[in-house]
Amino acid sequence: MARAYDGALTSRGWSLPSFEEARRIILENVSPLGAERVPALEAVGRVVAEDVRAPFDLPRWDNSAMDGFALRAQDASAAGGLRVSAFVPAGATPAGDLAPGTAARVLTGAPIPPGADAVAPFEETEEKDGVVRFLRPVRAGAHVRRKGEDIRAGEPVLPAGTVLGPAEVSALASSSRLAVPVVRRARVAIVSTGDELVEPGTPLAPGQIHDSNAWALAAAVLQAGGVPAVLGIARDDRDALRRLLGEGLAADALVTTAGVSVGDRDLVREVLAELGVRQVFWKIDIKPGRPTAFGLAGRTPVFSLPGNPVATLLTFDQLVRPALLRMMGHARVLRPLVPATLRDGLRRKPGRVEFVRVRLERGEGGGLVAASAGDQATGMLKTLLRADGLVVVPADRGPIEPGGAVEAQVLSGDLLPWGP
Prediction pTM value: 0.88
Same domain, 269 and 402: no
Residue 18: CATH number of its domain:
3.40.980.10
Same domain, 163 and 197: no
Same domain, 119 and 153: no
Where a domain ends, among 145, 170, 199? 145
Same domain, 252 and 123: no
pLDDT of residue 197: 87
pLDDT of residue 160: 96
Q: How far is CA 373 from CA 152, 250, 253, 339, 347, in A?
A: 52, 39, 32, 18, 15
What is the amino acid identity at position 66? M
12 has a pLDDT exceeding 80: no
Burial class (CB in 10 A: 0-12, 13-18, 19+), 158: buried
Same domain, 373 and 363: yes
Residue range 298-325: mean pLDDT, rounded? 96
Residue 416 lies in a domain: no
Where a domain ends, among 327, 346, 374? 327
Residue 300 lies in a domain: yes
Same domain, 188 and 116: no
The rounded mean pLDDT for the chain is: 91
Residue 401 lies in a domain: yes
Between strands 35-39 and 179-183, the pairing is antiparallel
Residue 302 lies in a domain: yes
Q: Which residues of 275-313 are buried (b: 16+ CB within 10 A; e: fewer)?
A: bebebbbbbbbbbbbebbbbbbbeebbbbbbbbbbbbbb
Same domain, 205 and 305: yes
pLDDT of residue 261: 63
Same domain, 188 and 269: yes
Three-state secondary structure string covering the chain: CCCCECCCEECCEECCCCHHHHHHHHHHCCCCCCEEEEEHHHHCCCEECCCEECCCCECCCCEECCCEEEECHHHCCCCCCEEEEEEECCCCCCCCCCCCCEEEEECCCCECCCCCCEEEEHHHEEEECCEEEECCCCCCCCCEECCCCCECCCCEEECCCCECCHHHHHHHHHCCCCEEEEECCCEEEEEEECCCEECCCCCCCCCCEECCHHHHHHHHHHHHCCEEEEEEEECCCHHHHHHHHHHHCCCCEEEEECCCCCCCCCCHHHHHHHCCCEEEEECCCEECCCCCEEEEECCEEEEEECCCHHHHHHHHHHHHHHHHHHHCCCCCCCCCEEEEEECCCECCCCCCEEEEEEEEEECCCCCEEEEECCCCCCCCHHHHHHCCEEEEECCCCCCECCCEEEEEEECCCCCCCCCC
Confidence of residue 400 (pLDDT cuts 50, 70, 90): very high
Same domain, 134 and 106: yes
Confidence of residue 265 (pLDDT cuts 50, 70, 90): low
Are 336 and 407 in contact by the 8 Å Cβ rule? The answer is no
Residue 194 lies in a domain: yes
**pLDDT per position as a tens digit, 30-62:** 999 999 999 999 999 999 999 999 999 999 999
**pLDDT per position as a tens digit, 232-254:** 998 888 898 999 999 999 999 99
pLDDT of residue 15: 66
Same domain, 361 and 376: yes
Burial class (CB in 10 A: 0-12, 13-18, 19+), 147: middle
141 torsion bin: left (phi>0), alpha (psi -120 to 50), beta (else): left
Residue 170: CATH number of its domain:
3.90.105.10
Residue 359 lies in a domain: yes
Domains in the chain, number: 4
Residue 291 lies in a domain: yes
Q: Which structural domain, as residue segments, surrounds residue 95?
A: 63-145
Entry field: residues in the chain:
420
Which residues, in sequence order, are bridge partners of residue 316? none
pLDDT of residue 3: 47
Q: How far is CA 107 from CA 136, 137, 173, 324, in A?
A: 19, 20, 22, 49
**pLDDT per position as a tens digit, 125-148:** 999 999 999 999 999 999 999 999
**pLDDT per position as a tens digit, 325-356:** 999 999 999 999 999 999 999 999 999 999 99
Q: How far is CA 139 from CA 64, 71, 123, 165, 291, in A?
A: 14, 10, 16, 37, 70
Where a domain ends, among 183, 208, 235? 183
Between strands 102-106 and 68-71, the pairing is antiparallel
Are 409 and 416 in contact by the 8 Å Cβ rule? The answer is no
Q: Which residues contact 171 (CB under 8 A, 6 or more apart)?
A: 151, 157, 158
pLDDT of residue 420: 44
CA torsion 107→110→114→120, rounded to 10°? 30
Is the link from the previous residue into 336 a cis peptide, with omega within 30 of 0? no
Residue 397 lies in a domain: yes
Same domain, 47 and 176: yes
